[in-house]
Amino acid sequence: MKVVLLGGTTGMGRALARTLVENGHDVFLLGLPPQELTRSAEDLSARSQRPVGTAELDLEQPSTFEPALDSADAALGSFDTVVVTAGMFKAQDALEADLEFTRRMLIVNYAHLVIFCEHVRRRLLARGGGTLCCFSSVAGDRGRKPIALYGSSKAGLSHYLESLDHRHRAEGLRVITVKPGFVHTGMTAGLKPPPFAGQPEGVAKDVLRALTAGTPVLYTPWPWRFVMMIIRMLPRFVMRRVQF
């Protein structure tokens, strides 16, 4: 695969980038800040013994989307796979206390990610298809007290990705929605983990298998598929009483 990875400098994105190059795939990194992009690219190049290119892309500035994708196309010679792990996050209490950050997060996690995916969709369909893999979250599966604001942005993103898959799979566009549960990363530092919390490296292996198979929806770590199945079935009066 020739993979463009947005968000490959930290957490699950970094683990996925390493997994991809270690399995022989070409990778091009998009994101910010530039020093982290360079550091990550050097690490990947050392692991793969192949050059890894980068381009700056700011999810708060849609004007950077097309130039970054142009750079990826030029470096990879027409990419066939795009993976998006980037996004914004704060815990519910922090979001309620900082509505300006909340505004930015909601715009980035839904509106701007959708616009980025639309740019990708056009390019991949124009060349006969490919794979768009985007990280959403189990937080978007059901309205829950601890993640009301963040979860709403992921609910919208998941809805869009599912619709995109229905609309364009027959034309050769494979859309994969990754729904991580709790994973030990910098984003979740300080939060109380559940018993089945995952590690970035495990998520990366799961995502690589999904990319190979074209799996439309991936819950990772795997227990979250069954956890969320139960959560979606609970009546609203129960959800009002629980803190999950």
Distance of CA 213 to the CA centre of its chain: 18
| Residue 219, amino acid | Y
Phi-psi region for residue 185, left (φ > 0), alpha (ψ -120 to 50) or beta?
Answer: beta
- Residue 211: its pLDDT value, please? 97
Beta bridge partners of 220: 180
Q: How many domains does the chain have?
A: 1
Identify the segments of the chain with pLDDT beneath 70. 186-191, 194
* pLDDT reported for residue 243: 84
Give residue 194's domain range.
Answer: 2-241
Predicted pLDDT at 195: 73
- The amino acid occupying position 229 is M
What is the percent of the chain where pLDDT is above 70? 97
Query: For residue 195, what are its two tokens?
Result: 């018993």
* Secondary structure of residue 111 in the 3-state scheme: helix
In this prediction, residue 196 carries a pLDDT of 75
Q: What is the CATH number of the domain that holds 33?
A: 3.40.50.720
pLDDT value for 189: 63
Q: Which residue pairs, CB below 8 angstroms and at least 24 apart, start in 113-119? A: 113/59, 113/84, 113/86, 113/87, 113/157, 114/157, 114/160, 115/62, 115/65, 116/6, 116/59, 116/62, 116/65, 116/84, 117/84, 117/160, 117/161, 117/164, 119/65, 119/66, 119/69
